[in-house]
Chains A and B, each alone.
Chain A
C-alpha cells in the first residue's frame, strides 16, 4: 500500500513478541453493526488492520433493477438507516434528473427541513456512539434522547420513524400536518442545551481530547486519494460540501440559504468564535476534528431548518406530485451525488423505456471512508482502533448495500 502518510507512530520495543491475529467483529461492541476487522497486533500495537465487509449485503441494487423507481424508495431507507431521509432524497433527485422534473418551492423547502433533521439525527448518533467507543456511556443517551424527538417529528410527518420513505421522486408523499412546524420549532428551541452538554462531556473533556487528538491523522491528500467525503474529508481541512459545490440540480435546493461549510481551512473554522475552542493538542485531520466537524454541522443544520421553515411558510400548494408507481423511465441515464450526513451519496439509474430501471447503482460514502481505516489504524494501539473507526462514522447498511 503506497501512501504519502508519514511513518506511523514509532513505538520503541526492546522485546519483540509474537504477533497476534485478532478478529474484531462482526459481533464486536464497537464495530457499528457487522464490520469485521482483522487486526495484526504486537502487544498493544496494531501493525495491520484488514476490514472485511459483506455481512449486511442484501442485494439492494439488484432489487432496484426488478422494481420500479418509486418502489425502490423503501430500499433506500435501508442503506444508511440512520439517515433514511437523506437516502430518499438522493434517489428521488436522481430519478427526477432522469425524468427532467422540476419541483415547486414548497417541496424543496420540505426536503431541506427533512434532510437537515436527518443530518442532525445522524450526527447525534455518530457523537453518541463515538462516546460509547471511548468508554463514555452517558453522552450516548443524551444524544439518543434528542434523536427520539426528531424521530417523533418524522413520525408525525410520514408515519415512520426510521424507514421514512417520505421523500419520493416528484415531491414528498404528503404535506406536513398542521402544527408540525411549531412542533419542529419547539424542538429546535430546546435542543441547544443538549449540544452544550455533549460539548461538556465529550468535546472539551480532557480524557476525550487525549483519546482523540492526534489519533488517526488523515492528511488532506490521503483523504482525497481514498475518495473520502463528508465530515471525514472536511475534518482534514478540505473545504468541500456538495450543498455548496455540488451539481446545479442539487445546489439549487440550497440556493439562498445562509450556512457555512464546516472545515478547518488553514486550521481555522469559519465563525470559530461561536463554537467551543479547539484544543492545542488537536491536529487537523485527526479523530477529534472529524467529530468536531459533525458537532458544528449540527448547529448549522439547526439554522438551515429554521430558514427552511420560514421559506415553507411563504409558499402554498402541494409539495410536488409523486410519480406514479408504474411511471415509465425514459431511455438514458442519470447520476447525482448528494451531501448525505456521512458523505457524498451517489445514485445512478439507467432507464430503458420501461417502468423498471435497467440498472441501479448506489455509490456509498462509507465504503470509501472505511477504505482509509487501515491507513489510519496502522501503528496505533488497540484502543485507537475503535477511536478511529468511530470517528469515520460508518454504517454497514450503506457499505454492503
Chain B
C-alpha cells in the first residue's frame, strides 16, 4: 500500500501515513460494524435462549436498527463524571481500552495476505497489545473514585494478569506445531482440507483449544468470568460511573476484543482463512492465477475467517446467557490449578508429538535451521513489494 502510494505522494513518509490511515479506516469500519452487529446479535441470541423474541420492531424486521438507535441514545446522553474523579485518567481510560483491543486487528490477517502489517512475530504482537486493554479498565476503576469501581478494577487486575499466562502458553502450542509466529504463515500451514487444521493435528492441540477457550473468555471479561462488572455484586464494577459515550467506548472495546480472540482462535486452530473444503484451491482463486482471482480468493478467505470469528463470539454469548458467575477465588483457582498445569502439559505433549512426527533426532529440522533465511527472504520480499507485485498478490491496494 505504502509503496503503491509512494508513486503519487512524496515524501515517502506522507505515503506511509496515508497508507496507515487507509488501513486504520478499513479496520475501524470492520470493528465498529462488528460491534454494532454483535450488539444486535447479543439481543437476539439472548432472546432466543430466554424464550423471547428480542427486538422485533426497531427499523422494521428483526429489529436491525436497534444498535444504531442505542448508539444514538448513548451519544445524546449527558456526559457525567463524578466530582471527585481524576478527570484526565477518567477520560483517558475508555480510549486506552479501545485502542488496545482495536490495535490487535493490525496483526490479524483477514485473508491470504489481507493483513495491515505482516509481522514475523504476529502472535507476540497480539498477546502484548491485547494485554494492554486491562490498563484502561484499571485506570477507569481507579479514576472513578467509587468504591465499587475500585473493586472492579482490583478484580480485573487479579484476573486478567493471571489469565495472560495460560493464554500465552496455549497460543504457543499451535505456533510450535506450525513452526512460525507469523499469523499469515500459520494460516497457510493449514490450507487444504479441514483435516489440516491445527486443532485436528494431534490430541494435544485439540485439548489446548479448550484451555485457550476458557482463558480467552476470562481475558475478555465475559461471563462466567465477568467479575470486573459483576452487576449483582459490584453494581457495574469499573463501569459504575461511566455513562453515555465513554461507556459505549468500553462497550465497543469489549466486543472488539471478543472478536479479536475469536479470530485468533480461528487462525491458530481452525485454519484461518481456509474453509473446511479447499473450494478456493479448486476454483484457482489464488493470487498465482491472477489479480482478480486473488482478490476473490481473499474475499472468500475473509468470509471464512469472519464466519469462524462470529461463531466464536456467538459461543461466548451462549455461555453468558447460560452460566452463573464464578467467585473471584474460584476464577483464580481455575486459572492456577487447572489452566496453567493443563496448558503446560499440552505444551510438552505437543512438543513431543511434533518431535516424533518429524522423525525424532534423525528427522528433517530444516524448518528451524532455515528460520533466519526465511526471515531474510520475507524481508527481501517485503521490500520488493512494488505496486505491481502487491497488486498481483491481491494485497489491500486498489
Contacts and interface: CB of A to CB of B under 8 A. Distances in A.
Contact of B232 (A43, A207, A210, A386): A386
Given A29-B231, A29-B235, A383-B230, A210 B327 contact: yes
A315 to B, nearest CB: 38
Given A207-B326, A381-B327, A384-B327, A142 B235 contact: no
Given A136-B324, A207-B323, A211-B326, A141 B232 contact: no
Contacts of A386: 232-233
B145 interface: no
Contacts of A381: 327-329
A135 B52 contact: no
Contacts of B328: 44, 381, 383
B148 interface: yes
A385 B231 CA distance: 13
B223 interface: yes
A138 B321 contact: yes
Given A44-B328, A211-B327, A383-B327, A135 B50 contact: no
Contacts of B231: 29-30, 135
B50 A137 contact: yes
Contacts of A136: 322-325
Contacts of A138: 46, 49-50, 321-322
A131 interface: yes
B334 to A, nearest CB: 10
A145 interface: yes
Interface in B199-246: 223-224, 226-227, 230-235
Interface string A207-228: 1101100000000000000000
A134 B227 CA distance: 11
B80 to A, nearest CB: 16
Given A29-B231, A210-B330, A20 B322 contact: no
Given A381-B329, A383-B230, A22 B148 contact: yes
B52 to A, nearest CB: 7
Contacts of A103: none
A210 B325 CA distance: 10
A93 interface: no
Nearest to B321: A138
A28 interface: yes
A133 interface: yes
A30 B233 contact: yes
Most buried by A among B52, B233, B326, B328: B233
Contact of B235 (A20, A28, A211): A28
A360 B121 CA distance: 77
Contacts of B255: none
A30 B322 contact: no
Interface of B: 46, 49-52, 147-148, 151, 154-155, 223-224, 226-227, 230-235, 321-330
